[in-house]
Amino acid sequence: MTPSQVSKHKGSILVIGDEPASLKQLKTILREDGYAVHSANEVKSGLQSVKPTLPDLVLVDVGMLGVDGYQLSASLKNDSITRAIPVILITSIDHSINHLRENLESAVRKRTTQLVTTNEELEKALREINVLTQVTGRKHAEEKIRQQEAELRQVLDLAPQHIVVLGPEGSRLYSNQAALNYYGLTLEQWRSYDPRRLFHPDDCERMTSGAQIKILSASSHESEARLLRKDGKYHWFLFRSNPLRDGQGRITHWYVAATDIEDRKQAEQRVQGENLALREEIVRSSMFEEIVGSSDALREVLVQVSKVAPTGSTVLILGETGTGKELIARAIHNRSNRSARAFIRVNCAAIPASLIASELFGHEKGSFTGALQRRLGRFESADGGTIFLDEIGELPAETQVALLRVLQEREFERVGGNQTVPVDVRVLAATNQDLSAAVAEGKFRQDLFYRLNVFPIRLPALRERVDDIPLLVEYLIDRYAKKGGKQIRNVSKETLDRFQTYDWPGNIRELQNVIERAVILCEGETFFVDETWLARADRKSSVPSVPLIANLVEREKEMVETALREAEGVVGGPTGAASKLGIPRQTLESKIRKLGINRHRFKTP
């Protein structure tokens, strides 16, 4: 371009940049405004073009690869030939063109009138460069924030927990992908989905209405509930909700994290089951079926039960009233190979003598007045199982014959019938009477007694198992307290001592009644019994000729010696001293040693 051509233009500008599109656009704009424009697409060629052309102004792109605009500007200022040429650093062609034109025109005018740029103009140019740099930095920061948000959202989507963002009033804004995959919903579907359909029916009201109340209270909270999975199964989740507040303390969002705790819940249930089993095992360690106790006298009975239960032998259970004879009978049945079949209980003393045969063996239609149809008896109902004949000593003589036939032949005839009915029944009998004395008096058949007395088991009275009383008291208090909805945690020492010194003529049945009454009247957590409830009375022995008065030490030795004298020094057996006193052989032997009695001196020569 010749000097005459240059003079026709506003001024000469050299543009240096490595973006062809932006460079072309800038050259077009400048030429339309009347400037002579030269260009270079790299720093090296730009430096080579400055000295031959000596432009009025140099525009340099700051962000070029390799040598940037700042380094090129420094090179021009360090050269004495080009030092006076003003340089403007630009970051992008996309800035306001009008603003750039004003700066360029101002710079060209000043270059025309004054070749040396003043310090004030340079400072202004630097301020503009600083502003441009700040705007660019802000855009970079915004872009970086958007990138970080995208990365954070990706992290949340990969998290195994369900993460939900709610509005300040509880509106649903965001849910991560783990939660959406669990429900089988899209984000839009989830936002409009009825939350009551997501929770288990038992948890729905608590989690919907209750959560709204907690949101209104603006406090962090935790809760547990079951969520419906897309396959129709429910899982337990732990919900933790926390508010996000602004500078004024107002809630802007709620963040909710839900963690799947199904495995933990199942483990807790297993532990609870194991604890329950352990507690039951602890109870069973001092119980046999429902028989509570661990005293030596009771253990001996339970050993006998364990031995005879698997057999099919007939068992005669002896003991005072209220000692638990039926429990022993049930224990024998439950531990036998007949446990899956019926256990039929018959109280022979509760049925009129005229009806006992019909009750046991059944009757044919028309066999007696009122027999309108055939009726099966208890033995037929117990076929294959066990029949328990309580109070067997009250059985009428004519019925004893029929029972003897069942025991011997395993068959019987219904009342009014002539057809033999075979039956497979195990017979367990119980009585609180002395059947040996009844046989001697002719009230009970001797042959039936021998048939029933195959395996006799004598139950100790409660006064003979004092060590079991604390266990029985604890067991019975727990039973009746639960029944009455009460919490009883302690037993007063005076009450326990009173229980252990009382002779309990009604045995366990009496103890049950006393404890049930005391639990009903108890108003605190400590169990106690009024001493007036346990009024003492002398017990009469089952053997009239040898009265036994409990807890009278001064008479005890005399009574034992009397019994040994009548039994001629024999302790055990039907005619022994123990039988006469109505106590176990082991108990009598212990008393003989304790009292220092020589039983051999009572033996006849």
Provide the pLDDT for residue 79: 82
In the prediction, which pLDDT does 3 show? Answer: 44
Residue range 403-423: average pLDDT?
88
The stretch 206-233 carries a mean pLDDT of 80
Is residue 452 located within the same domain as residue 411?
yes
Q: How many helices (H) and strands (E) does the chain have?
A: 23, 20
Q: Do residues 476 and 511 make contact, with C-beta atoms less than 8 angstroms apart? A: yes
Mean pLDDT throughout 417-431?
A: 91
- Split into its structural domains, the chain has a count of 5
The pLDDT value recorded for residue 115 is 47
pLDDT of residue 418: 83
31 plus 107 within the same structural domain: yes
Asked whether the predicted pLDDT for residue 540 surpasses 50, the reply is no
pLDDT of residue 279: 55
Considering the domain architecture, whether residues 451 and 480 belong to the same structural domain is answered as no
DSSP symbol at 117: P
Residue 2 has pLDDT above 60, yes or no: no
Q: What single-letter amino acid sits at 49? A: S
pLDDT tens track for 188-200: 999 888 888 889 9
Is pLDDT at 226 greater than 90 in this prediction? Answer: yes
Q: How confident is the model at residue 93 (pLDDT cuts 50, 70, 90)?
A: very low
Averaged over 371-378, what is the pLDDT? 79
**Where is mean pLDDT largest: 12-26, 512-526, 550-564?**
512-526
Query: What is the per-residue pLDDT for 109?
Result: 65
Residue 167: give its domain's CATH number: 3.30.450.20
404 inside domain: yes
Both tokens assigned to 412: 């019987």
User: Could you give the CA distance from residue 547 to residue 549 in angstroms, rounded to a whole number?
Assistant: 6
H or E segment to which residue 239 belongs:
strand 234-245
Instruction: Take residue 92 and report the two structure tokens written for it.
Output: 């992008």
Q: How confident is the model at residue 273 (pLDDT cuts 50, 70, 90)?
A: low
Distance CA 602, CA 265 (A): 72
**Cβ-contact 11, 111 below 8 angstroms:** yes
Least confident stretch, 203-212, 408-417, 506-515: 203-212
| Closest listed residue to residue 115, CA positions, set 138, 84, 144 | 84
What pLDDT is stored for residue 228 in this prediction? Answer: 92
3-state secondary structure of 229: coil
Does 393 reside within a domain?
Answer: yes
User: The domain that contains 345 carries what CATH number?
Assistant: 3.40.50.300
Residue 500 included in any domain: no
d(CA 196, CA 228): 10
Mean pLDDT of 463-472: 90
The last residue of a domain, from among 103, 137, 171: 137
* pLDDT at residue 40 in the model: 85
For the cut 90, the answer to whether the pLDDT of residue 141 exceeds it is: no
With beta carbons less than 8 A apart as the criterion, state whether 237 and 198 touch. no
How does pLDDT run across 571-601, given as a tens digit for each residue?
877 778 887 777 777 778 778 877 878 877 7
pLDDT band at 101 (very low <50, low <70, confident <90, very high): low
On whether both 527 and 574 belong to a single domain, the answer is: no
Asked whether residue 295 falls in the same domain as residue 410, the answer is yes
What is the SS3 assignment for 500?
A: helix
Q: Is residue 281 part of a domain?
A: no
Q: Are residues 432 and 346 in the same domain?
A: yes
| Mean pLDDT value across the chain | 81
20: confidence class by pLDDT, cuts 50, 70, 90: confident
Highest mean pLDDT among 59-63, 257-261, 371-375: 257-261
- Whether residue 491 has pLDDT greater than 70: yes
Query: What percent of the chain shows pLDDT beyond 90?
Result: 20
Mean pLDDT within 108-114: 59
Over residues 512-532, the mean pLDDT reads: 88
**CATH number for position 483:** 1.10.8.60
111 shares its domain with 176: no
Whether residue 453 lies inside any domain: the answer is yes
* CB 289 within 8 Å of CB 298: no
Lowest mean pLDDT: which of 16-25, 320-329, 417-426? 16-25
Mean pLDDT of all residues in 484-506: 88
Which of 131-145, 231-245, 529-543 reaches the highest mean pLDDT? Answer: 231-245
Contact 395, 348 (CB under 8 A): yes
User: Residue 538 falls within a domain, yes or no?
Assistant: no
Residues 261/238, Cβ–Cβ less than 8 Å: yes
Same domain for 52 and 169, yes or no, is no
Q: Does residue 282 surpass a pLDDT of 60?
A: no
What pLDDT does 211 receive? 65
Check whether residue 453 and residue 491 sit in a common domain.
Answer: no
Averaged pLDDT, 56-82: 78
The reply to whether 51 and 85 lie within a common domain is: yes
Tell me which residue range forms the domain holding 7: 3-137
Q: Tell me whether residue 547 is in a domain.
A: no
Assess if residue 154 is contained within a domain. no
Is the confidence at residue 111, as pLDDT, over 50? yes
297 plus 405 within the same structural domain: yes
pLDDT in tens, 161-179: 888 888 888 888 888 888 8
pLDDT at 27: 84
Residue given tokens 């022995």 in the structure block: 541
Same domain, 297 and 431: yes
Q: Is the pLDDT of residue 280 over 80?
A: no
Pick the residue with more confidence: 258 or 546? 258
With a cut of 80, say whether residue 288 has pLDDT above it: no
What pLDDT is stored for residue 311 in this prediction? 92
